[in-house]
Amino acid sequence: MSLKSERRGIHVDQSELLCKKGCGYYGNPAWQGFCSKCWREEYHKARQKQIQEDWELAERLQREEEEAFASSQSGPGAQSLTFSKFEEKKTNEKTRKVTTVKKFFSASSRVGSKKEIQEAKAPSPSINRQASIETDRVSKEFIEFLKTFHKTGQEIYKQTKMFLETMHYKRDLSIEEQSECTQDFYQNVAERMQTRGKVPSERVEKIMDQIEKYIMTRLYKYVFCPETTDDEKKDLAIQKRIRALHWVTPQMLCVPVNEEISEVSDMVVKAITDIIEMDSKRVPRDKLACITKCSKHIFNAIKITKNEPASADDFLPTLIYIVLKGNPPRLQSNIQYITRFCNPSRLMAGEDGYYFTNLCCAVAFIEKLDAQSLNLSQEDFDRYMSGQTSPRKQESENWSPDACLGVKQMYKNLDLLSQLNERQERILSEAKKLEKDLIEWTDGIAKEVQDIVEKYPLEIKPPNQSLAAIDSENVENDKLPPPLQPQVYAG
C-alpha cells in the first residue's frame, strides 16, 4: 500500500486551507471556508438581502391592507389621504439607521448620542465591580502602554472605554451580534490610526494586540461559552468522540514521530501541554500563541525523527494525534471564542492563522473520522468504537525500528489484559459448572433417598404387652422344690 493511499483520509491540500473566495488569506471552517474579511462581506450581503426581503414583504402586506381599507371608503379623497400617510410612514422607516460602532466614533454621532453616552457612563454594578487581579494588572499595563503615544493614546483609551460601556448594554444581544460589534470596533480603530493618526502598520498591529488584550480580558467572563449558544454541548460531544477514539494508534494516522527518542517524547509532552494550556488563557491572541507553540513542538519532533524538515502532510496527522492524546478541555468553545473575538488580521494571514486553520481541520477530521480514513474494515472499526475489542498486539519481530515505545507498551498491556480477561472468563465458567454439578448431586441424593423410602416404607408397630412371670402358668406350686435357704457352717 502506497503512502499516498494510506493518507487519503488525512491529507489536506494547502489550497484547501485558503479562503474559497480566492483572496489569498486563510479560511476558517467556522466561517464556511471564508476568511474574516470575505465572511463579513457575505454576512452583510445576506443580512441586507434579508432586510430587503422583509421590507418587500412588509410593503406588500401594508399595500394590501391599504387597498382593502381604501376600497371600503366612499370617496376617492380618503384613499389619497390614507396612501399619503402610508408613504410618509414608509419614508420615516427607511431613513432610520441602525447605530453601529463606527457611528459612535463619528463627529455627527457624538453630538447626536450625547445623552446616550451619559447614560452609559452611569454607575453600574457590573462595570464598577471589584476588578480581579488579572484585570487590574492588564488595565495598568494598557494605560502605561498608551502613555507613549500621547494624544493618540488618549483617543484610543477613550474609544476603548466607550466600546466597553456600549458592550455592557449589548449583553442581551446574540453572541454573533456581539462578535460583529467587536470586529467593527477593531476595523474602525485600525482605520482611524492609519488614516488620521498616520501610524505605521507595524505599530498598528502592536496597538491592536494591546487593545484586544484589554477589552477581551474585561469581556471574557460574558462572551466565552455563553449560555445562549450550544458551545458547551459541542465541547461534550467532541470530548466523548475523542474518548471513543482512544484506540487509534500513530501507525493508523501515519504519524512520523518516534517517541522512543527521549527528545521527541519531550516535544510530544510539551505539545500536549500547550494545547491543554490554551483553555487557561483569556485573550484570543494568547490562545493562538498556545496553538502556535504546540505546532512548533510538533514540527521539531518530526524533524528530529526524520532528520529532515517536516512537511504539511506530516504536520496535520501529528496534530490530530496530539489532539486525540491530549483531549483538550472546552476545545470547541476555545475555537469559537477565537473565531468570534480575535483580531481578524491574525486569522487571515501569518503563522498563527495557518496553525489555527490546521487545528480547525484536525477537529473536523476527528468529528468525521471513519473506517476508510484509518484503512480499516467497517466491522473492525465498529468493534473498536464499541469497545468490544482493540487492535491486535503485534509480534515483537514485526515491529519496525521507528515504532513508538509507548505503543509497544500499550499493546503489551492490552495483551495482558486480554489474557486476564480470558482467565477470568474461564474461572467464571468453571465456577458455574461446579455450582451446577453440586446442585445436580444434591438433587440426585435427595431423589435416591426418596425412592428408598417409597420402596421400603418404615412401619412402626405398637409396643408388646408386659411380660408375665416365667412360672406364671404353673398352677401346681406344690410340686416346685422349696427355695434354697442359706446355710451356715461352723468352721
Task: Report the 10 Å Cβ neighbour count for 107.
Answer: 7
Choose one of 44, 65, 86: the last residue of a domain: 65
Same domain, yes or no: 369 and 275:
yes
Give the model confidence (pLDDT) of 371-420 as tens digits. 988 888 898 898 888 877 777 544 444 556 666 677 777 777 887 888 88
Helical (H) or strand (E) element with 361: helix 350-368
Does 150 fall in a domain? no
Count of the separate structural domains present in the chain: 3
Does 207 fall in a domain? no
Give the model confidence (pLDDT) of 189-245 as tens digits. 999 888 887 888 888 999 999 999 999 999 999 999 999 999 999 999 999 999 999
- Residue 245, C-alpha cell as written in the block: 477514539
How large a percentage of the chain has pLDDT more than 70?
A: 71
Choose one of 356, 389, 422: the last residue of a domain: 389
CATH number, domain containing residue 265: 1.20.1050.80
Q: Which pLDDT belongs to residue 91?
A: 55
Same domain, yes or no: 356 and 425:
no
Does 290 fall in a domain? yes
Same domain, yes or no: 348 and 427:
no
Name, of 16-20, 103-107, 428-432, the range with top average pLDDT: 428-432
Same domain, yes or no: 314 and 256:
yes
Does 23 fall in a domain? no
Residue-by-residue DSSP string for 135-202: HHHHHHHHHHHHHTTHHHHHHHHHHHHHHHHHHHTTTTS-HHHHHHHHHHHHHHHHHHHHHTS---HH
What is the average pLDDT across 295-320?
92
Choose one of 65, 88, 123: the last residue of a domain: 65
Band the pLDDT of 475: cuts 50, 70, 90. low
Same domain, yes or no: 313 and 345:
yes
For residue 243, the enclosing domain spans 230-389
Picking from 77-81, 283-287, 370-374, 399-403, which range would have the lowest pLDDT averaged per residue?
Answer: 77-81
The burial class, CB within 10 Å (0-12 / 13-18 / 19+), for 45 is exposed
Torsions phi, psi for 257 (to 5 deg): -130, 130
Same domain, yes or no: 294 and 337:
yes
Same domain, yes or no: 363 and 262:
yes
Same domain, yes or no: 329 and 246:
yes
Same domain, yes or no: 365 and 250:
yes
Strand partners of residue 26: 18
At 18 the three-state DSSP class reads strand
Tell me the C-alpha distance between 355 and 290, whole Å: 10
Does 125 fall in a domain? no
Does 222 fall in a domain? no
Does 97 fall in a domain? no
Give the model confidence (pLDDT) of 18-32 as tens digits. 666 666 666 666 656
Band the pLDDT of 473: cuts 50, 70, 90. low
Residue 388: C-alpha distances to residues 141, 239, 244, 256, 384 (Å): 56, 20, 12, 29, 6
Amino acid at site 151:
K
Residue-by-residue DSSP string for 409-454: HHHHHHHHHHHHHHHHHHHHHHHHHHHHHHHHHHHHHHHHHHHHHH
Does 455 fall in a domain? no
Strand partners of residue 18: 26
Same domain, yes or no: 255 and 379:
yes
Picking from 17-31, 73-87, 273-287, which range would have the lowest pLDDT averaged per residue?
Answer: 73-87
Same domain, yes or no: 317 and 282:
yes
Same domain, yes or no: 310 and 418:
no
Helical (H) or strand (E) element with 54: helix 36-71
Residues 6+ apart with CB under 8 A from 475: none
